[in-house]
Amino acid sequence: MTVTRVAESRTEFKLKNLPEDAISSVKFAPKSSQFLLVSSWDCSVRLYDVTSNVERHKYNHELPVLDVCFRDAAHSYSGGLDQTLKMYDLNVSSETVLGEHKGAIRCVEFASEVNAVLTGSWDGTVKMWDSRVPNCVGTYNQGNERVYTMSIVGEKFVVGTSGRKIFVWDVRNMGHVNQRRESSLKYQTRCIRVFPNKQGYVLSSIEGRVAVEYLDSNPEVQKKKYAFKCHRIKDGGLEKIYPVNAISFHSVYNTFATGGSDGYVNIWDGFNKKRLCQFHRYNTAVSALSFSHDGSALAIACSQLDESQVEDPKPEDTIYIRYVTDQETKPK
C-alpha cells in the first residue's frame, strides 16, 4: 500500500504512546471530546486525553481486547479473546471482572436506556449485564451465529452475526427478537451502526459495500433502503475491493464516516445518498472510527488486519484525531 505522507496539521494529529499491536476499537467519551478509549491486540485498554495528547490510563487483559466502551466519564467496559468482561473505574484505577462468555467477546456496548452492558460473543450469544455488579441479567441466543458487530442507540439494538444474519432487539424487552433479517449484502457483515435518529442502520460488508436500511418494516419505508459500493481501488485492470471495517455516526447531522481496508475514510450523507468528503489515504487499513459526541472530532485507528495476507513489514498502528468541519460532515 502506498503511504501518503501528509504533514500533520492543526486539523489532524497522531496520538502519542500508541498501543504496540493492532487497534481493535476506539470510542470517544459520551459527553466530552477530550477522552478516548482504545482497545488493542496488545491486550491493553488505554484512555487518552486527546486535547493534551497524553495517555491517562492503561489496564490489561490476559489476551487481546476486541472492544471497549464507556459507561460514563469514569467507567469503561472491555472484553476480548480472554472471554471475560471487565469493568474499570478510571477514577480509582480499579478493575472488576463482571463475568464470562464461552467464546471471545467481540463487542461491548453500554445501553444507557436500561443502564446495562451488552456483550456479543463468538459463542453465538449476547449477554446483558448489570452495569455495576457482576451479574448477568440474561443470555440471548443469536441463532448460534458468531456475533461480529453490534450497535445500540436508545432502545434500538442491532446485532450482526456470521452467516449474514441480523437481529433487531429492543433492550427494554429482551424477551424476544423484534426482527430477524438477512443482510441485504451478499458478503460477510463487517460493521453495523444504528442511525442516531433510530430510523435505521448502516451496514457494511467485506466486499466494499455499504447498505442503508430502515427498521420500520412498513413496505413504503423499506423501499427507501439501498446499498452502494465504496472502498474499491482500480489498480490497472484489477479492481481491488476492500472490507469496510468501521462506521461511525455524526450524532448531530446523522451523516456517517466509513473506514476501509484501503486506508480511506469517507463521509456520507445517507439520507441524500451523497458522499460529503474523502480524506487522504492513511498509511494502512482503517480498523476503527469514532466520532466524538458533538461530532467535532473523529478518531481514526489505522491497523492492518491481515486482510491481504501479505507478510510485509507491518505498517505502524496509529490513531489520528481529526477535527472535522461542518463542510465535511453537514448534509449539503
Q: Which of 27, 47, 26, 7 is nearest to 318 (CA)?
A: 26
Residue identified by cell 466524538 is: 292
DSSP letters of 17-39? S--SS-EEEEEE-SS-SSEEEEE
Nearer to another protein, 102 or 198 (CB): 102
Could you please report the per-residue DSSP string of 82-117? T-EEEEEETTTTEEEEEEE-SS-EEEEEEETTTTEE
Nearest distance in Å: CB 93, another protein: 25
Q: How many residues in the chain?
A: 332
Work out how close the CB of 261 gets to another protein at its nearest, in angstroms, rounded to a whole number: 6
DSSP 3-state assignment of 276?
A: strand
Which residue bears the cell 468541519?
Answer: 325
Q: Quick one: 63 or 252, whose CB is closer to another protein?
A: 63
Identify which of residues 8 and 239 has a Cβ nearer to another protein in the complex.
239
- Our CB check for another protein shows the closer of 97 and 228 to be 228
259 vs 261: CA distance, rounded Å: 7
Distance CA 292, CA 298 (A): 6
Q: How far is the CB of 162 from another protein (least distance, A)?
A: 7
- CB-CB neighbours of 134 under 10 Å: 13
- In the complex, minimum distance from the CB of residue 43 to another protein, in angstroms, rounded to a whole number: 9
Q: How far is the CB of 147 from another protein (least distance, A)?
A: 10
User: 123: which 3 cell numbers?
Assistant: 459463542
Could you identify the residue written with the cell 485492470?
237
CA distance 163 to 65: 23
Could you identify the residue written with the cell 472484553? 79
Return the number of the residue (65 or 174) whose C-beta is nearest another protein. 65
Minimum distance from CB of 243 to another protein (Å)?
6
In terms of Cβ atoms closer than 10 Å to its own Cβ (0-12, 13-18, 19+), residue 102 is: exposed
Compare residues 147 and 174 and give the one whose CB is closer to another protein. 147
Residue 311 Cβ vs another protein, minimum distance, rounded to whole Å: 7
> Quick one: residue 231, left, alpha or beta (phi over 0 = left, psi -120 to 50 = alpha)?
left
Contact positions toward another protein, by CB under 8 A? 22, 24, 41, 62-64, 66, 81-83, 102-104, 106, 122-124, 146, 148, 162-164, 184-188, 190, 206-209, 211, 225-230, 232, 237-243, 245, 261-262, 273-275, 278, 305-311
- Least gap, CB of 28 to another protein (angstroms): 22
Neighbouring C-beta atoms of residue 228, cutoff 10 Å = 13
- Separation between Cα atoms, residue 48 and residue 28, nearest integer Å: 10
> In the complex with another protein, which residue's Cβ is closer, 116 or 246?
246
Between 172 and 226, name the residue whose CB sits nearer to another protein.
226
